[in-house]
């Protein structure tokens, strides 16, 4: 009897452990967020929940044509939209909640527009007149009111309600933490997935020079030091040969001294330097002096264990 009893006990333990894992990693959906949204906010702003918009990776173009690429680059799988109308009918409050590929993607998308004052909502939020942006877990929230009809306090309350049911934890991309701290302009820190987003921050001849994508992300920041100014870009690739190919693509556009490891003068007169460390690319761009380029190259350590 001991044998079956031991087997039964093991099955109970395994089942309990699996249940605990499921409870520890719940998944929030746009539908569950939608179910928790009130039909009325702010003392009279009303919505028709039946008019809510739910968009996928195809239909999102018809909703936000011209900006869909930003969310899709961060792995968007869906978007929920709701509108509340002011009591006098002269203003609208529009909520958009995007489910992105990961909490790191939500961090990156949130930083894509970093204007506004910090506000305590979700994992991180910012507010400016008539607009609020926040992130929580893998979700990005955007809330705006036309005609300046809604106060910031109302925006914070509505956003907090929308994010309240999200159980996933937020996360800062590990690649961002590899950017050296001294002289870093915190407002300039970005985490990007696609070449279009990188080109918006650092023009690279308008093409896919570094080969970014869902499997290759970049972190960048502007630096202001006594030795000069520069932009540092780090890219993690799945394999070293991708990093080497991106390095060679950059070197092909720089004068010969860059081949020797030193900074080279680009067409715009600034200094550039590049190298690959295994599967990581290190690029110093738009440096105003050789010293700052050398410092940033020296302070950027190779990735530990291929972390991405």
Instruction: Please report whether residue 33 resides in a domain.
Output: yes
| Three-state DSSP class for residue 26 | coil
Q: How confident is the model at residue 307 (pLDDT cuts 50, 70, 90)?
A: very low
Tell me, yes or no, whether 122 and 227 share the same domain.
no
Query: How high is the mean pLDDT of the chain?
Result: 85
Instruction: Please report whether residue 158 resides in a domain.
Output: yes
Tell me, yes or no, whether 214 and 130 share the same domain.
no
Q: What is the rounded CA–CA span in Å between residue 264 and residue 286? A: 10
Read off the pLDDT of each residue in 225-252 and give the average, rounded to a whole number. 95
> pLDDT, tens digit, for every residue of 130-184?
899 999 999 999 999 875 666 888 899 999 999 999 999 999 999 999 999 999 9
Read off the pLDDT of each residue in 242-262 and give the average, rounded to a whole number. 82
Lowest mean pLDDT among 77-81, 85-89, 275-279: 85-89
Which residues does 206 contact at the CB level (< 8 Å), separation at least 6? 199
Could you tell me the two tokens for 107?
């961090």
Instruction: Please report whether residue 255 resides in a domain.
Output: yes
List alpha helices for the chain, DSSP H: 2-24, 30-35, 60-63, 68-73, 103-111, 152-163, 174-177, 195-201, 240-251, 290-299
> pLDDT, tens digit, for every residue of 188-220?
999 999 887 888 888 765 578 899 988 999 999
Tell me, yes or no, whether 148 and 207 share the same domain.
no
Tell me, yes or no, whether 95 and 221 share the same domain.
no
Tell me, yes or no, whether 289 and 232 share the same domain.
yes
What is the per-residue pLDDT for 8? 35
Q: Give yes or no for a contact between 233 and 283, defined as CB atoms under 8 angstroms apart.
A: yes
Tell me, yes or no, whether 182 and 232 share the same domain.
yes
Tell me, yes or no, whether 178 and 282 share the same domain.
yes
Which H or E run includes 265?
strand 264-265
Tell me, yes or no, whether 131 and 51 share the same domain.
yes
Q: Give yes or no for a contact between 262 and 250, defined as CB atoms under 8 angstroms apart.
A: no
Q: What is the rounded CA–CA span in Å between residue 143 and residue 85? A: 13
> pLDDT, tens digit, for every residue of 82-139?
999 988 877 899 999 999 999 999 999 999 887 889 999 999 999 988 899 999 999 9
Distances (CA, A) of 144 to 109, 235, 286: 17, 33, 35
Read off the pLDDT of each residue in 250-263 and give the average, rounded to a whole number. 75
Q: With a cut of 70, say whether residue 40 has pLDDT above it.
A: yes
Instruction: Please report whether residue 2 resides in a domain.
Output: no
Tell me, yes or no, whether 138 and 218 share the same domain.
no
Q: What is the rounded CA–CA span in Å between residue 288 and residue 285? A: 9
42 or 108: which leads in pLDDT: 108
| Three-state DSSP class for residue 232 | strand
In the block, which residue shows the tokens 């820190």?
Answer: 189
| Three-state DSSP class for residue 269 | coil
Instruction: Please report whether residue 199 resides in a domain.
Output: yes
Tell me, yes or no, whether 148 and 263 share the same domain.
no
Q: With a cut of 60, say whether residue 16 has pLDDT above it.
A: no
26-40, 60-74, 143-157, 180-194: which has the highest mean pLDDT?
180-194
Lowest mean pLDDT among 32-36, 198-202, 227-231, 273-277: 198-202
Q: What is the rounded CA–CA span in Å between residue 190 and residue 188? A: 6
Among 163, 191, 206, the domain boundary falls at 163
Read off the pLDDT of each residue in 47-75 and give the average, rounded to a whole number. 91
Instruction: Please report whether residue 307 resides in a domain.
Output: no
How many residues does this entry show for the chain?
Answer: 308
What is the per-residue pLDDT for 304? 64
Instruction: Please report whether residue 21 resides in a domain.
Output: no
Q: What is the rounded CA–CA span in Å between residue 187 and residue 59? A: 32
Instruction: Please report whether residue 15 resides in a domain.
Output: no
In the block, which residue shows the tokens 């028709």?
Answer: 48
Q: With a cut of 80, say whether residue 230 has pLDDT above it.
A: yes
Q: What is the CATH number of the domain that holds 85?
A: 3.40.1000
pTM of the predicted protein model: 0.85
In the block, which residue shows the tokens 């929920």?
Answer: 80
Tell me, yes or no, whether 252 and 201 share the same domain.
yes
Q: What is the rounded CA–CA span in Å between residue 81 and residue 79? A: 7
Read off the pLDDT of each residue in 59-82 and give the average, rounded to a whole number. 92
Number of domains in the chain: 2
Tell me, yes or no, whether 158 and 245 share the same domain.
no
Lowest mean pLDDT among 30-34, 186-190, 268-272, 273-277: 268-272
Domain of residue 39: give its range.
29-163
């Amino acid at each position: 009897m001991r044998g079956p009893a031991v087997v039964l006990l093991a099955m109970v333990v395994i089942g309990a452990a699996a249940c605990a894992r499921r409870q520890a990693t719940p998944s929030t959906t746009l539908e569950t967020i939608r179910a928790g949204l009130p039909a009325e906010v702010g003392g009279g702003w009303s919505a028709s929940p039946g008019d809510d918009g739910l968009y996928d990776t195809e239909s999102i173009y018809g909703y936000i044509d011209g900006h869909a690429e930003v969310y899709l680059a961060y792995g968007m799988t869906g978007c929920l939209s709701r509108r509340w109308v002011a009591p006098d009918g002269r203003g609208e409050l529009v909520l958009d909640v995007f489910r992105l590929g990961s909490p790191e993607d939500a961090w990156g998308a949130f930083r894509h527009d970093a204007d506004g004052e910090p506000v305590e909502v979700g994992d991180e939020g910012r507010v400016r007149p008539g607009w609020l942006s926040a992130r929580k877990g893998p979700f990005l929230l955007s809330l705006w009111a036309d005609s300046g009809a809604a106060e910031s306090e109302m925006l914070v309350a509505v956003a907090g309600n929308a994010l309240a049911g999200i159980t996933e934890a937020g996360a800062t991309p590990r690649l961002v933490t590899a950017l050296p701290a001294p002289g870093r302009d915190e407002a300039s820190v970005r985490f990007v997935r696609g070449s279009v987003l990188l080109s918006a921050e650092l023009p690279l001849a308008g093409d896919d020079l570094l080969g970014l994508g869902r499997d290759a992300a970049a972190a960048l920041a502007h630096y202001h030091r006594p030795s000069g100014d520069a932009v540092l870009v780090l890219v993690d690739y799945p394999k070293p040969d991708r990093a080497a190919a991106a390095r060679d693509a950059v070197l092909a556009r720089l004068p010969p001294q860059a081949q020797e490891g030193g900074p080279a003068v680009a067409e715009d007169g600034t200094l550039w330097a590049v190298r690959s460390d295994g599967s990581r690319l290190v690029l110093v761009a738009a440096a105003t002096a050789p010293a700052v380029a050398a410092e940033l190259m020296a302070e950027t350590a190779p990735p530990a264990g291929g972390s991405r």
